[in-house]
Structure 1
Amino acid sequence: MSGLLALLDDVAGIAKVAAANVDDIATQALKASSKAAGAVIDDAAVTPKYLQGFQPARELPIVGKIAWGSIKNKLIILLPAALLLSTFAPWLIMPLLMIGGAYLCFEGAEKVYHLFRPHAHYADGHIDGDGDPTHLEESKVAGAVKTDFILSAEIMTIILSGIDPDGSIWFKAGALGLAGIFITVAVYGAVALIVKADDVGLWLARVGRLSVTRALGRGVVKFMPYLMKALMIIGTAAMIWVGGSIIIHGMHELGMHHPYVEIHHLAEIASHAMPKAPGFAAWAMTALADGILGLILGLILIPIVTYVIDPAIRAVTGKKGGASH
């Protein structure tokens, strides 16, 4: 009997250790995921455009296909690549992170630039000449998954940089995998709600028994275009801010301490100027400075990408470069 009790005690101890490890992994995943906010918001803002032109009945299945492609991007391709990188070439993580930050700055700045200089938009997916809806859907999903791969690579790199570097490879794998799944579910769950909200509003407006219910439905329909515009604005601002923050922090980590030091000094001045909310003041000043520098960098990158990188991609692949989505 004493042997059985000892065994049960050992099992309970192992369970406690396992539970603690799982809790640590979940904590690391959530903390690391929060650093990827800019790319995540951009992902949620970009995806709905791939559903334009399809019947409402196909919207959720298409979102599901894109979400599944995103899961495979993160878990099958990017997670092993991130683990290999952190094990054999951890010194590459920050430079790659800075490249991703520069891409975010470019994407955000390009959207700002085209607000003042509208241009003809290219189709993101190839439309088959026979007009087959099935082929069109497959093409759109493939285009969305390719765009997701770029954003997912940024997200996974940002997450990796936020995970304890001293953790075991299994700990990192668990945190990366959990964070990747969490972000994918959050992003595409939000996309599903967004794309179906107008249908729900129309349904309420048409079949609601109470006048207040029908009014709510009409309100939802009228509100959705404004929500989509707000998402695009928030997504663009978040991209520029997060991208600028990554670049500035990366420069500091690599020994180039300007403009990190100046921004930190401005944040201290702002916190003293608002003694009732010093934390918020410091954060707002830092975000503003990061965003301004991110926008400047992005604007500088626009002609470089347009006249150098994009033509080079076209020359190699024979297709339009994929720098912008």
Structure 2
Amino acid sequence: MSGGLVGLLDDIAALAKLAAASIDDVGAAAGRASVKTAGVVVDDTAVTPTYVDGLTADRELPVIRRIATGSLRNKLLIILPAALLLSEVAPILVEIILMFGGAYLSFEGAEKIHHRFSSHVDEAAHDAPDLIAPADGPEQEEQTVKSAVRTDFILSTEIMVIALKEVIDEGLFSRAIILAIVAVLITVAVYGVVALIVKMDDVGLHLAQRSGNGSQRVGRALVNGMPKLLAALATIGTAAMIWVGGHILLNGTDELGWHGPYDFVHSLETRVHDIAGIGGVLSWVVNTLASALIGLAVGFVLVAVITRVKAARTHGSRATH
């Protein structure tokens, strides 16, 4: 009987090791999938603080919490089931949707660059296209939250599809767990950073009003530095969107059967890969620059086409009146 008990304990230990290994694998896969979404995440983090601009200080965190809850609900209850269903019945559609997402990211990045250098365009209105100007009062706050959650749905869809592509070869159960982990991690990271950014002004003002010279210097630095941080986030987000969008398009065309662009970039990577000491870095730089150029090219083509379509519609509307 003791031998049977020892054997049972060995089996339990083996199962525990297997479970631990599986958890490690799921965690590692979730980490890799989260990293791939960096471009969209940075842009989401840069845009979201505009939704609480103008709210009273005591309503900023509650509104951010409501937006974060809506974002998590989007990811877990709508996007996740739809993504899993598509990956089971029509995996090719995941790649096609991802390609559309890459084109959208490239367009968004290129449009932001275009608007930045176009003096007649209000860049702030572009960065938050669905934003309703916040104001005091429950009705206005409700409109702001709904608008933010609606815009977040687009970004969340891109995040989840990019993550899904990274783990599409995993089993259905593992896929579901990994995507759920990614959804929670990304939401906590984005809105945690947003809350920190939004309240940093208040922290800075509090420190600036204290008697100590050191506290005052830190406070003034925080107050003066936050607009610069937001501007830097916006710039980094734009660059990341173009790079990630181009990278998705480069790999997606290869997956869908057009191998020319990917093979050309890969040949460039191969030429520099064997350079002693820096070959790996140079290879990454080549791929990154190629992806960014592809993203810029596709993005500006889409900007030109959409701008012409909008102009034609405006002209036609004026003509009918």
| TM-score where L is the length of structure 2 | 0.89
Amino acid at match of 2:116: L
| Runs (5+) with no aligned partner, structure 1 | 313-325
Question: Which aligned pairs between 1:197-276 and structure 2 lie closer than 5 A?
Answer: 197-207=200-210, 209-271=211-273, 275-276=276-277
1:144 matched to 2:145: no
Quick check: 1:158 aligned with 2:159?
Answer: no
Aligned to 2:318: none
Answer whether contact 1:204 1:216 (CA < 8 A) is retained. yes
Question: Per-residue displacement from partner, 1:43-63 (whole Å, max 9, x unpaired)?
Answer: 111111111111111111111
Q: Which residue of 1 aligns with 2:61?
A: 60
Native 8 Å contact 1:106 1:299 kept in 2: yes
Distance in 1 between residues matched to 2:221 and 2:147, nearest whole Å:
33
Contact 2:106–2:242 (Cα < 8 Å) also in 1 = yes
CA RMSD of superposed structures (Å)? 2.3
Question: Which residues of 2 match residues 80-91 of structure 1 at below 5 A?
Answer: 80-91=81-92
Question: 1:19 is matched by which residue type in structure 2?
Answer: A
After TM superposition, give the deviation of residue 228 of structure 1 in Å: 0.7
- What is the SS of the residue equivalent to 1:255? coil
SS class of match (2:17) = helix
Q: Deviations over 1:2-31 (max 9, x none)?
A: 355544444333332222222211111111
- Quote the Cα distance in structure 1 between the aligned partners of 2:273 and 2:137: 56
Are 2:178 and 1:175 aligned? yes
Q: How big is each residue's C-alpha offset from its partner over 1:58-111, in whole Å with a ceiling of 9 and x where there is no partner?
A: 111111111111111111001111110111101111111000000000100010
Cα distance 1:264–1:178, how it changes in 2: closer, same or farther (>3 A)? same
> SS of the residue aligned with 1:259?
helix
AA at the equivalent of 2:258 = M
Structure 1's consecutive aligned runs of 4 or more residues displaced over 6 angstroms after TM superposition are 309-312
Report whether the alignment pairs 1:193 with 2:199.
no
CA 1:126–1:233: 2 relative to 1, 3 Å: closer
How many corresponding residue pairs? 307
Q: CA deviation at 1:297?
A: 0.7
1:133 positional shift: 1.9
Q: Percent identity?
A: 48
Please state if 1:305 is matched with 2:306. yes
Structure 2 counterpart of 1:315: none
Deviation at residue 212 of structure 1 after TM alignment: 1.5
Q: What is the Cα deviation at residue 132 of structure 1? A: 5.8
Q: Tell me the secondary structure at the aligned position of residue 259 of structure 2.
A: coil
CA distance in 2, matches of 1:77, 1:187: 19
Is the CA contact 2:87–2:168 (under 8 Å) kept in the aligned structure 1? no
Opposite residue 179 of structure 1, the aligned amino acid is V
Which runs of 5 or more residues in structure 2 are unaligned? 314-321
CA deviation after TM superposition for structure 1 residue 213, in Å:
2.0
CA distance in 2, matches of 1:76, 1:305: 32
